[in-house]
Amino acid sequence: MFKMINFGSEETPKFHAVVTITVNGETREVIPAFTDYSFKRKNFEKDKLFKSVDKTKILPTLFCFAESRIFIDEGILLHDYTGRELVNLQDIQIPVMVYLDKADNMNLFGLLNEPLPSVIIPCESVAEAYQKVATTAYLSQGASKDDWVGLGGIVSKDELLIQIRQFGNKYEIGGTTAQGYFGLSANTSLLQSKALVMESSTLLGEHRTFEQAENLFKAMVQAFGVRAAQQTRYVKAINTCISQFNMATIMEALKNIGATEKLQIEKSKCDDKIACLQSLIIEQATLLKHSKE
């Protein structure tokens, strides 16, 4: 946790946030400094899930710092973790080190036990320091909704989520689209809660089996092609049609989609594709329904 140390006097206090780090086995206290180019940290104050997260499950990480000298020499304004400006550094007895943002630990200050494992990154200029930050950020990756589907399934042992992830992997489609083929639409917050706090509650609502989802996907591929079947808007449209009729009728309607109908949808404007698709399928489903009356 941060310590607030007064580097001024009682009359003119100057408090700054101090942390303990370890570099090459040596433990030292430093003031982590930030600039106007530092990443904006996530605010967890109103995040209900954050309070339930087991902080001991965080994977090991390495904090990166650069010497403050190059920033001072180039006139870059520095401030501490609390936002207080860092000036007259010669009057501060503890080293000021500029934190180099990393996706895996930028939100971990104050959460991990100290000393924080760290490394001092040699940089000849501010540009070089932030180029290293930029390169690392570009090659870093956060969890997508596809990933949260899988994580939520494997952590909470939710068989449905595991099947949805397997379905998405098998047919190379995203998490939202894969859920759509199962007739579901779980938001990311729910998926995160299942992964982070091992939420055991099952997804609510009726859903299709893996076999039913697979049959629907294959019917979509037959009707509109693989590329279309992998798109969220197509499965959303088909689910709307199923809700108005039933899956058996819509599956049969998809068999009646020919080259003319496909061309009609392909030529429609992007915003109109869903409406056009729904209209086309509903028309075919209505014709089928009347033919059986």
pLDDT classification of 86: cutoffs 50, 70, 90 = very high
CA–CA separation, 226 vs 273, rounded Å? 16
Q: What was the pLDDT predicted at 227?
A: 92
pLDDT at 282 over 90: no
User: What's the pLDDT score for residue 83?
Assistant: 94
Tell me which residue has tokens 């087991």: 54
| Residues whose CB is less than 8 angstroms from the CB of residue 257 and which lie 6 or more positions away in sequence, other chains included | 223, 224, 280, 281, 284
Cα–Cα distance measured from residue 288 to residue 282, given in angstroms and rounded to the nearest whole number: 10
Place 263 in a pLDDT band, splitting at 50, 70 and 90. low
Confidence of residue 269 (pLDDT cuts 50, 70, 90): low
More confident residue, 283 or 156: 156
pLDDT at res. 203: 64
Q: pLDDT exceeding 90 applies to what percent of the chain?
A: 64
pLDDT score recorded for residue 281: 84
Tell me how far apart the alpha carbons of residues 105 and 281 are, in angstroms, rounded to a whole number: 49
Domain coordinates in residue numbering, the chain: 3-139, 145-291
pLDDT at 205: 67
For residues 32-61, average pLDDT:
93
Mean pLDDT across the chain? 90
* Structure confidence by residue, pLDDT tens digits, 127-171: 999 999 999 999 999 999 899 999 999 999 999 999 999 999 999
